[in-house]
Amino acid sequence: MKNYKIAVLPGDGIGKEIMPQAVKALEAVSQATEDFSLELEQYPWGVEYYMETGEMMPQNGIDTLSKFDAIYFVAAGNPAVTDYLSAWEFIFVMRKQFQQYINLRPIKSYPGVPTLLANPKGEIDFVIVRENSEGEYAGPGGVVHVDQSNEVAIQTNVFTRHGVERVARYAFELARTRRKRVTNVTKSNAMLHGLVFWDKVVDEVAKEYPDVEYEHLYVDAATMKFIQNPPWFDVIVTTNLFGDILSDLGGAMVGSIGLTPSANINPERNFPSMFEPVHGSAPDIAGQGIANPTATILAGAMMLDFLGEKVGAKLLTNATNQTLQAGIKSGDLGGTAGTKKIGEAIAKKVMDLA
């Protein structure tokens, strides 16, 4: 039996309520399949930890996390602290230090959960492959003449051939396992340097995959097509910023961002990958026991799949699907079930299906 060491990071806000239910579901899969065991180590790091200690995580935090097979994370953020801190001093640190340059965000409609579209024209099932280490979130830039009339802010996007090639190849390889269509989404008609370069490199990579249908859409046209004909999409490859925005739109389309998991992947497996929901810490509902744990549980299924536990991943996904279909849903999906009830229902369904 394989044993996996998982670093558990509930983070802030609703993370503390969601994570126990997500762990419960994972442990149910381990028990039901008897294919693997989980060695879970939980750390309280995040913004609320910062408010107590003055640091988002200890100075040896990255070294500590590097020893794990994967990181299971919910969200970081608190209104008392700027979101810049949670991103640049915590989340982005893990993504960059562990070279998690692929951000994978599946967008899928579920039986029993109405989409927010009047006519979705069929099942919604596509994946956004977001470049996760460069682009608009790379960081170079600065502000000069602060608080003066001539104050200037400069934000520099960074696109390297290496970075664009590797995310494009990942997208095309993924498409080969699905419906063999890749849509490249940019805004190169307006951003004449970085995104013209991005398109050039992705076009070159596309020629290596003649068996995969390839198209390019400007991001504004893509948002319209999201609403008009979402089943058209299969695999979308896009930049850090556009992938972030489009995945939120996709989550809303299928009923709630509370259904959308994600994975921050180091494909070479030289470092641990990190699995989390797309949603944030939702401090406005924290402590009420009403947060939707579905996205985090589905991120756990993505984690099992990445670790090679395909049977367990499918079991957890099916259990989640059937729980939703049975009408056990949180308030954001029009239901009345609380966080604990949903987690317990999914864990029970895992055992029933095994």
Q: What is the DSSP string of 236-299?
A: EEE-HHHHHHHHHHHHHHTT-GGG-EEEEE-TT-SS-EEEEESS---TTTTTSS----HHHHHH
DSSP-assigned states of every residue in 270-287: SS-EEEEESS---TTTTT
Name the stretches of the chain with pLDDT < 70. 119-120
Residue 324 lies in a domain: yes
Shared-domain flag, residues 173 and 193: yes
Q: Which residues touch 179 (CB under 8 Å, ≥6 apart)?
A: 234
How many CB atoms lie under 10 A from the CB of residue 140? 9
Shared-domain flag, residues 88 and 129: no
Per-residue confidence (pLDDT) for residue 123, from 0 to 100: 87
* Domain's final residue, options 203, 229, 254: 254
Would you tell me the crossing angle of helices 15-33 and 339-353 to the nearest 10 degrees? Answer: 10
* Domain's final residue, options 200, 233, 254: 254
| CATH number of the domain to which 129 belongs | 3.40.718.10
**Rg of the Cα atoms in the chain:** 20
Per-residue confidence (pLDDT) for residue 253, from 0 to 100: 94
Shared-domain flag, residues 346 and 235: no
Per-residue confidence (pLDDT) for residue 155, from 0 to 100: 92
Shared-domain flag, residues 250 and 120: yes
Shared-domain flag, residues 249 and 266: no
Per-residue confidence (pLDDT) for residue 84, from 0 to 100: 86
Q: Which residues touch 15 (CB under 8 Å, ≥6 apart)?
A: 9, 46, 74, 75, 76, 281
Which tens digits make up the pLDDT trace of 162-215?
A: 999 999 999 999 999 999 999 999 999 999 999 999 999 999 999 999 999 999
From residue 143, alpha-carbon distances to 14, 134, 152 in Å are 34, 20, 6
Residue 106 lies in a domain: no
Range of the domain at 121: 115-143+153-254
From residue 59, alpha-carbon distances to 39, 95, 161, 234 in Å are 23, 16, 32, 41
Shared-domain flag, residues 37 and 120: no
* Domain's final residue, options 254, 286, 321: 254
Shared-domain flag, residues 189 and 237: yes
Contact assessment for residue 159 and residue 101, using Cβ atoms and an 8 Å cutoff: no
Residue 148 lies in a domain: no
Shared-domain flag, residues 128 and 241: yes
Q: Which residues touch 345 (CB under 8 Å, ≥6 apart)?
A: 323, 326, 328, 337
Q: How many domains does the chain have?
A: 2
> What pTM did the predictor assign?
0.95
**Average pLDDT of every residue of the chain:** 96
**Parallel, antiparallel, or unpaired: how do β-strands 181-186 and 213-218 relate?**
parallel
Q: How many residues does the chain have?
A: 354
Shared-domain flag, residues 119 and 238: yes
Per-residue confidence (pLDDT) for residue 243, from 0 to 100: 97
Shared-domain flag, residues 237 and 250: yes
Per-residue confidence (pLDDT) for residue 115, from 0 to 100: 87
Residue with tokens 């590797």: 166
Per-residue confidence (pLDDT) for residue 282, from 0 to 100: 95
- The catalytic residue positions are 137, 187, 220, 244, 248
Residue 67 lies in a domain: yes
Per-residue confidence (pLDDT) for residue 114, from 0 to 100: 87
